[in-house]
Amino acid sequence: MCGIIGILGEGDVVHQLYEGLLSLQHRGQDAAGIITYDEMFHLKKGMGLVSQVFEEKNLRRLRGNIGIGHVRYPTIGPGDNEDAQPFFVNAPYGIAMAHNGNVTNYFSLRRKLAEKSFRQLNSYSDVEAILNVFADTIDQNKKFTFPLMVEGIKEVFKKVEGSYSCIGVIADKGLFAFRDPKGIKPLCFGKRGRAFIFASESAALDLLGYKLIRDVKPGEVIFIDKDRKIFSQEILKGEVMPCIFEYVYFARPDSIIDGIGVYEVRLRLGEYLGKECQKAGLKPDVVLPVPDTARAAATTVAKVLGCELREGLIKNRYIHRTFIMPRQKMREISVRQKLNPIRSEIKRKKVLLVDDSIVRGTTSKEIIKILKRCQPKEVYLAITCPPLRYPCVYGIDMMTRGEFIARRYSVEGIREMIGADKLIYQTYEGLVAAVRGEEKERKFCTACFSGEYPTRVKKEDFAIMERERCGWRNKWR
């Protein structure tokens, strides 16, 4: 999971890119980067949060009315400085690119680029592979045209497997964006006056005062030339299957993804979860959300159950998101640093805690420990999504089977492991219905719950991803 943004503005765009990345910081905390263009590319990227990577002196030298930005956390590669995005190639024309997603055939693609195209990749960032496939295809000493760009994107769709939403700049030509044929990762398009923007989430557009035009369609490329003329083509008409976990956890609640409001989804998730709690006979004294992603769902859980909703855990907002931290011990310590209880809302009460998901069980176990030190009568835990059991190969940091507590334990076993008095999961049917809302025919990528992957994933690629991921994680530890 990463966050991307691209702007063709009416003056220097670096400060807009910087502010936009701040609004997308929740999508990646390991690295950040911005590249702009005037008569040459100006690049700054590095490890850390947006506010840590950029200083005023960096921003001053990033000149140009066109540019792209990126926030990252690693899924492929060791996550070193070399893997930070954006990337650029000098030929043809000069092309810069950033992406959100995960290339499932990355290692075989990397090998083929070296053997057949003599292109040497200098990182383990999969966008460098996408960029080189694109550049290699249009490197024909031809005059740049939109149809030539389309040929390059066609080759990407042909050779690159997995999920990818990409934004790029072609030097002295314009800004472009494209989305994989299944539309797994979000990407939206907006306008403000004569300026244009692409971003992972519509919340970035709201912050910067841009009007949301629409989402980039699956299999579509949109190009805006330097004269502000818009070109677009659906190269492969794919069936949109956005990642359902975006609505559960990753996306900001104030974002709209593929026409579906994230906040409204989370309210509906609470309605369905509340009914499951009723079926289980839960009668809590109080409902407490785990801040922040579960807050909307907890509101409607409490409404369904007819009990009070209170704030029982206060969040330290200067601690990173624990789900996307690479080390187990770091996650455990971070939970204790991040959340502090309000004892008066917990002591001698039956507490129903609402959270969005359980992956490894680390976070849930630590939170329940925190609550039980406050002497509640009982602590129940309700989860807004079903058990996570299958690796995500599309860019969420769940790429190995061993990470899922639900693969090793039953619901009762998980309850015992984390120390809850009762554990209630959302049903798979409830999850899909809540995200669909009124759009009954919509489909989503639910691979992490169902094991059904919307794209082809070869067994050998799957095995390589798991092996490499485990190896890199051991190095991080």
- As annotated, the active-site residues are 2
Find out whether 179 and 197 touch, Cβ atoms under 8 Å: no
State whether residue 5 is helix, strand or coil: strand
Separation CA 131–CA 139 (nearest Å): 12
Rounded to whole angstroms, how far apart are CA atoms 331 and 366?
Answer: 10
Burial string for 302-316 (b: 16+ CB within 10 Å, else e) reads bebbebebbebbeee
What does the block give as tokens for 131? 């960029």
| DSSP 8-state secondary structure symbol assigned to residue 281 | T
**Is there a contact between 136 and 151 (Cβ–Cβ < 8 Å)?**
no
Q: How far, CA to CA in Å, does 343 sit from each of 15, 288, 291, 340, 446?
A: 43, 12, 16, 9, 38
Three-state secondary structure call for residue 27: helix
Q: Choose among 4, 185, 195: nearest CA to 86.
A: 4
Backbone angles phi, psi at 286, to 5 degrees: -155, 145
Dist. CA 377–CA 72, nearest whole Å = 42
CA 160 to each of CA 238, 328, 460: distance values in angstroms, whole numbers, following the listed order? 15, 32, 15
Q: For the residues of 309-328, what is the DSSP string, one character each?
A: E---EEE-TTSPPGGG-S-H
Instruction: Give the separation between CA 250 and CA 266, rounded to whole angstroms.
Output: 12
Integer Cα distance of 183 and 260 in angstroms: 14
Query: How does DSSP classify residue 250?
Result: I
Amino acid at 293: T
The closest of 342, 432, 348 to 385, measured between CA atoms, is 432
b/e for 413-425, b at 16 or more Cβ within 10 A? ebbebbbbbbbbb
CB 246 within 8 A of CB 252: no
Beta strand extents in 237-391 (DSSP E only): 256-257, 260-261, 286-289, 308-309, 313-315, 339-341, 350-355, 378-383
Give me the amino acid identity at 227. Answer: D
* Cα 277 from Cα 286, distance rounded (Å): 13
What is the DSSP-derived secondary structure letter of residue 85?
A: S
